Structure 1
Amino acid sequence: MQPTKTNIFLYLVAILVNLLSFSIGVSITWITSVIPKVDGSTITDDNPFGRLLTASEISWIAGFLPLGAAIGPLAVGKISDKIGRKKSLLILGCVNILSLVITVFAKQTVLFYISRFLAGVVLGSSYSVIPVFMAEISENHNRGALGCSVGIFVAIGMNFALVAGPYLSISVYSLLCISPLLIFVPGFFILSPETPWYLAARNDEKRLTKSLLKLRNKTVEEIHLEMTSILEVVVENETAAKAGVRDLCTNNTLRKSLLICLVIICLQQCGGIAAVLIYMPKIFEAAKTNLAPEICAIIVGVFQVFGTIVSSVVVDRLGRRILLLVSSVFTCLTLVTLGLYFRLNLSDVVWLSWLPLFSLVVYIFTFNVGLGPVPWVVMSELFPSNFTSIAAALTSSTCFMNTFIVTVTFPYLSTFLGMANCFFLFTVVTICGAIFIYMVLPETKGKSLQEIQKLLGSCG
């Protein structure tokens, strides 16, 4: 089917939102290129501190990002329900600009802590607002693809940081990272409407009509059925329950939805992805690969982008559940391979020097086919509209609290347990998650948000 004007404008809005996704991707791996500049054997011009940082300082510069990401969603979820998805995203874009401006001029570690904490608040909050925004502007047939597009742009942003970071000073690097946000803020402000579901929840039928007319590019008569359906569902949800944490825990269907989201998001982070991305150069250095660590990181990043693109193409065809299971199996296999590589000291075996890079390429690719983007798509689908924001906030906060724990503890765990045992520990988590997905997660492919709620209720 040829794309219509509806598709074109809808995708234009999605691209603008994903400039923020790109920016939060940059913030995730921004530290990967900075660590070698401040943790080398000598002080260089690229080091803004005038001294080498300690392992503790570096771990906290890395750790303040997920710490802020764990805290941010708890406040932004409520704010998003009050001021709207559009205004929330614009505020997050402006805060992200501020965080990068700080790193342009910072020469003290405390300013880096502040910058990374602010970037973390934006990161976690964006993961709780952007998936909701995408779900609420999309239609049934493209909801999965638009949801996974967030992962594509995050991956591109992460890869951009890996490519540009090693070859630029921290100040120039940070200035370059601001540029997509300078397009996002005015472009999104001018072009994007508020989401139909948010406007329906506010009983603003006039703006709801305008929003649907823009996003669907249909006549008033053609959007009438969708508008009526949205209004009916919103009224039904508001009549049934108030959106509170207590309701999430006491209602059987909502409790099951929350449990599914929290478990798969813990699987996502405790499977080692944060440690792999942030400390990738250190892992390659320990593995004694033939290529320079920064080149290996770039190669891995390219496959990360490729994986998210594959996910967005097949998620609405194959389904959410199968992608998560396949992703879990292959990430598990690669973690075992890496664990054995370090346990058997194979770094001294010249003909196996390719194995760490190959394993991490497969790990990152398969992670981004399923475990990376799909949990956020699932999260945006499992809750009624009046519970989506609070559920997204709890899920996002849980996600990044796990990221914080993994990020801060990995340097110590790798020292005391050894690199091999760290990878084996990540393997155990991944196996447990795969079993949970197989036993509990329902397939939501092609179903409306209303049908998904009925499915969860019947499975309760």
Structure 2
Amino acid sequence: MGAIQVIFSILVYIGQFGIGYNLGWTAPVLAKLQDPEQTPLDNIISDGMSSWIVSFIYFGTISGPYISGYLCNVIGRKPCLFLGGCAHFIASLTLAMSKNVAVILTGRVLSGLGNGIIYVTNLMYIGEMASTKIRGTLLTLTGLSSTFGTLIVYSVGPFVTYATISWLSMTISGIYLIALCFVVPETATFHVIAGKKDAAIANLTLLGRQSDIEEVVTKASEKSRSKKDQMTEMFTVKSNRRALFIVLTLSVLQQMSGVIPLTAFVTIIFAMTGSTVEAYVSTIIVGLTQIFAASIAPLLVDRIGRKILLLVSTAACSLSMAALGTYFYLYNNGYAIAEDLQWLSLVSLMLFFVFYFSGFGIIPNTFIGEMFTDTCRGFCSTFSATVGWIVGFGVTTSFGYILLAWGPSTTFYIFTATCTIAFLFSAAFVPETKGKSLLQIQEFLGK
């Protein structure tokens, strides 16, 4: 019966695949919008406008979790996933038919809305649908499915037209919506909340979870705490305050590490290096690197330990950005040695993504599930993500302007400093949670 759970998870993760596709969409698209022969616009866009096109997705992403957070207990988990899929579908249609920047920005907001709704609801759906033995494995597939979507748009985008990139995205969304309509069931937890106990029992039986029926029905029948109570507990309970300090700081530093602008502008960055390797080839290599990192990350977390992995990851990210900044300093200032170091830009970004997605990119999400108390985990997760996304919006929006005003070397040295701060913060404040129960972790944080 575990196979059925895996099948449902794969179908649900088509939406996560779409999130990765949307995040990587700008890499091939921005290059086309700055090419007079490929752009659908009347004029090519500036570097500053490129940053706005990338960052506008945050306007939708920030609001998405709050919409799904309210509706998931009103209309259900499955309808929320369907709503996110509809947002993706409409966004793709809008972007495919866009002829001016205003329409592109509108499409990006809709893409972000779908991303925010699907991301949060996916975690809830898989957490409720999967049995204990395979729940952790299925949840870690979030990163893998997202990076696979990014790889696809990296690989296909350079070889098709601007509109075709979005038509492909709309096709993915259409398949997702069909799967939700005809195959994917509602969760047993929501059936209990809606007073449909028989439907919940039938759902758990289908999933091969007959032994969990009593536990699921009892837990889902408990009255949930209000948002106000969860907010109060976030600040009044010492372990939650300390957990919030750790998770919130790491979430902000994640966004300030430059991972989103690097993902979005990767093709343009490679075009600036002067390398003899085609920019799109380097971009595809980076996409493959992300897939590799996302694949091995779940294996490393429980074997090496959270803190050690986080320290290694942030240190390596810092060194990678320093190397990239140094290459651009040498190249832009006419040093002859830069000609022999063209490989350094690709290797630096490959290493950055390997170590980011192997530690820095996943550990804070792990801490959300381990450090907060059960009664306020959902609210704290949404709050931390919102603050991080707001910072991400600022970083992504300013990236193009900083790149133009200060140059690539200074820009990447800023990311170097951020990753270094993340390393020092992790060494000083982050505890090791490997092998500890949730109660032991929260008792330690409460001391």
TM-score, normalising length: structure 2: 0.89
Question: Mapping of 1:76-87 within 5 angstroms?
Answer: 76-87=68-79
Aligned equivalent of 1:360: 349
Does residue 35 (structure 1) correspond to residue 30 (structure 2)? The answer is yes
Distance 2:335 2:218 in 1: 61
Q: Work out whether residues 148 and 374 of structure 1, in 8 Å CA contact, stay in contact via their aligned partners in 2.
A: no
Does residue 341 (structure 1) correspond to residue 327 (structure 2)? The answer is yes
Residues 31-60 of structure 1: CA deviation (Å, up to 9, x unaligned) = 1111111213xx21x321132123333222
99-108 or 65-74: bigger deviation: 65-74
Q: Work out whether residues 128 and 392 of structure 1, in 8 Å CA contact, stay in contact via their aligned partners in 2.
A: no
For 2:215, the aligned partner's letter is T
Distance 2:260 2:126 in 1: 25
Does residue 47 (structure 1) correspond to residue 39 (structure 2)? The answer is yes
Does residue 304 (structure 1) correspond to residue 299 (structure 2)? The answer is no
Residues 238-268 of structure 1: CA deviation (Å, up to 9, x unaligned) = 4799653333222323333333332222222
Aligned equivalent of 1:18: 13
Aligned equivalent of 2:394: 405
Distance 2:113 2:26 in 1: 16
Q: Match for 2:256 among 270, 277, 282?
A: 270
Q: Work out whether residues 81 and 389 of structure 1, in 8 Å CA contact, stay in contact via their aligned partners in 2.
A: no
Q: Work out whether residues 266 and 402 of structure 1, in 8 Å CA contact, stay in contact via their aligned partners in 2.
A: yes
Change (3 A) 1:260 1:29: same
Q: Work out whether residues 64 and 117 of structure 1, in 8 Å CA contact, stay in contact via their aligned partners in 2.
A: yes
Does residue 137 (structure 1) correspond to residue 124 (structure 2)? The answer is no
CA RMSD after TM alignment: 2.8
1:442, CA displacement in angstroms? 4.5
1:368, CA displacement in angstroms? 1.4
Aligned length: 443
Question: Mapping of 1:157-176 within 5 angstroms?
Answer: 157-176=149-168
Distance 1:206 1:149 in 2: 30
Distance 1:199 1:445 in 2: 34
Q: Which runs of 5+ in 2 are unaligned?
A: none
Does residue 246 (structure 1) correspond to residue 205 (structure 2)? The answer is no
Change (3 A) 1:268 1:254: same
Does residue 192 (structure 1) correspond to residue 178 (structure 2)? The answer is no
Distance 1:198 1:362 in 2: 42
Residues 128-181 of structure 1: CA deviation (Å, up to 9, x unaligned) = 332233333334443432222111011011111111111111212211122222
Q: Work out whether residues 96 and 122 of structure 1, in 8 Å CA contact, stay in contact via their aligned partners in 2.
A: yes
1:325, CA displacement in angstroms? 2.8
TM-score, normalising length: structure 1: 0.87
Distance 1:406 1:412 in 2: 10
SS of equivalent to 2:276: coil
Aligned equivalent of 1:64: 56
1:433, CA displacement in angstroms? 2.0
1:396, CA displacement in angstroms? 2.6
Residues 92-133 of structure 1: CA deviation (Å, up to 9, x unaligned) = 011100000111211121111110011011223333332233
Aligned equivalent of 2:418: 429
Does residue 117 (structure 1) correspond to residue 109 (structure 2)? The answer is yes
SS of equivalent to 1:96: helix
Aligned equivalent of 2:277: 291
Distance 1:13 1:438 in 2: 39
Distance 1:454 1:83 in 2: 36
For 2:12, the aligned partner's letter is V
Question: Mapping of 1:90-239 within 5 angstroms?
Answer: 90-198=82-190, 205-215=197-207, 217-218=208-209, 220=210, 222-224=211-213, 227-228=214-215, 231=218, 235=222, 238=224
For 1:33, the aligned partner's letter is P
387-396 or 19-28: bigger deviation: 387-396
1:65, CA displacement in angstroms? 1.0
417-426 or 188-197: bigger deviation: 188-197
Q: Work out whether residues 296 and 357 of structure 1, in 8 Å CA contact, stay in contact via their aligned partners in 2.
A: yes
Q: Which runs of 5+ in 1 are unaligned?
A: none
